[in-house]
Each structure stands twice: as structure tokens, then as C-alpha cells.
């Protein structure tokens, strides 16, 4: 994948959000990968602070559609934030992460799982008892310690930081990411 695809994804993400406010669209460059199934996360930040992040863990629709849908939801329906206002869009930075397929991690216990993590590279999915949470690899920037990373991921999935069960399933994935330049 390349910068041309990154540009195509970023423009589609911003256009999808802008359309919610009736703003005009920028021309959308085409790329062959946009028509293939793909899984993306769209992250919105303002002054370096998270303002929304929603995505797909599995590729089930064309990449171009996936990024547009996730951008809208990140802006309007991320349950952690109020909907993005039309005046906020100008100072909101868009980042798109394209996920590789998730791969199950084989481990004997929590310590074994933690030893296998690749800080800064792995995105992780924690799954147990019908609950699931994920962290993109970018989360390692604020949680560089693998134990702390896992503790927070468990909390995101709705469990206590010290929770562990033989029913835990872990999956790893990687991302290719693109960010818009910083807004003025």
C-alpha cells in the first residue's frame, strides 16, 4: 500500500464528515484497493487530544465504503464524546489506520501472552465471555509497558485490570496509518 492510497482514504474520511454538515467535498482520488474489502479505523484528534475513534476489526465491505462509514461514526456517534460540531471540523485532524487481518495469539497464561507482545507494532483484541476490546498499535505511545497496555485493554473490554480467565482470547494485527497535516 502506498501514499496515494493513504491520500485517497484521508480525503474520503474528511469528505464523509464534511457531508454531515453540508460542506462541499474535495475531489476524491481513486485507487484500486478502495474497491477491495478492507478494515479501517478513523481517529479524530484536536490539539493532540482524542476526539473520536471508530473502526472495523474485520474486512467485510469495500475499503472506500468502510473508511467513509467509520469516519461518520467517529465524528457523530463515538459514545465517549458529544457529536462533532460543524465549527470543530476545521481544527480536527483525521487519521486513517488500515488493519491487517487479526491473527490468534497462542499462549499458556497471561505472562506468556505479555511476553509475546510487540510494543509499538501490535494492535490487540482482547475477547472473553462475549465482551471485546481493542487497542490500535498507536496506543503503545501512551501505554508503552506491556502489562499496563494489557491492563487498560482489559478495562476497555469491561473487565478489571487484574482479570484473567482460561477463556481469554487474544488476537494481534498491524496497521498502516496515514495522518492529515496538522490543522492551522
Domains of the chain: 3-99 (3.30.700.20), 103-173 (3.30.1490.150)
Asked if 70 contacts 54 with a C-beta cutoff of 8 angstroms, the reply is yes
The sheet carrying 49-55 orders its strands as: 49-55, 40-46, 93-99, 175-179
Instruction: Specify the pTM.
Output: 0.93
In angstroms, the CA 78 to CA 156 distance is 14
| Per-residue pLDDT at 182 | 82
Q: Specify whether the backbone of 48 is left (phi greater than 0), alpha (psi in -120 to 50) or beta.
A: left
Residue 59 burial (CB count, 10 A) = 17
C-alpha cell at 69: 462509514
Q: Give residue 184's pLDDT band: very low, low, confident or very high (50, 70, 90).
A: low
- Report the pLDDT value the prediction gives residue 68, as an integer from 0 to 100: 98
Give me the DSSP letters along 156-184.
HTTS-TT---TT-EEEEE-EEEEEPPPP-
What's the rounded Cα separation, in Å, for the pair 40 and 64?
10
pLDDT at 125 exceeding the cut of 60 = yes
Burial of 10 (0-12, 13-18, 19+ CB in 10 A): buried
Whether the CB-CB separation of 128 and 159 falls below 8 Å is answered with yes
pLDDT confidence tier of residue 1, bands split at 50, 70 and 90: very low
Q: Which residues contact 35 (CB under 8 A, 6 or more apart)?
A: 62, 63, 64
What does the pLDDT look like over 86-119, one tens digit per residue? 999 999 999 999 999 999 999 999 999 999 999 9
Residue 172 has pLDDT above 80, yes or no: yes
Amino acid at each position: 500500500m502506498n501514499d496515494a492510497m493513504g491520500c485517497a482514504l484521508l480525503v474520503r474520511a474528511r469528505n464523509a464528515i464534511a457531508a454531515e454538515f453540508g460542506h462541499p467535498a474535495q475531489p476524491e482520488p481513486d485507487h484500486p484497493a478502495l474497491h477491495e474489502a478492507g478494515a479501517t479505523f478513523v481517529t479524530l484528534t484536536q490539539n493532540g487530544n482524542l476526539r473520536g475513534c471508530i473502526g472495523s476489526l474485520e474486512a467485510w465491505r469495500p475499503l472506500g465504503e468502510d473508511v467513509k462509514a467509520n469516519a461518520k461514526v467517529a465524528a457523530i456517534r463515538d459514545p465517549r464524546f458529544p457529536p462533532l460540531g460543524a465549527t470543530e471540523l476545521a481544527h480536527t485532524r483525521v487519521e486513517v489506520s488500515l488493519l491487517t487481518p487479526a491473527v490468534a495469539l497462542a499462549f499458556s497464561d497471561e505472562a506468556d501472552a505479555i511476553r509475546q507482545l510487540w510494543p509499538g507494532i501490535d494492535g490487540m483484541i482482547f475477547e472473553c465471555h462475549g465482551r471485546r476490546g481493542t487497542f490500535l498499535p498507536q496506543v503503545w505511545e501512551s501505554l508503552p509497558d506491556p502489562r499496563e497496555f494489557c491492563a487498560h485493554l482489559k478495562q476497555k473490554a469491561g473487565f478489571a485490570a487484574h482479570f484473567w480467565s482460561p477463556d481469554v482470547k487474544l488476537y494481534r494485527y498491524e496497521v498502516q496509518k496515514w495522518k492529515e497535516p496538522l490543522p492551522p
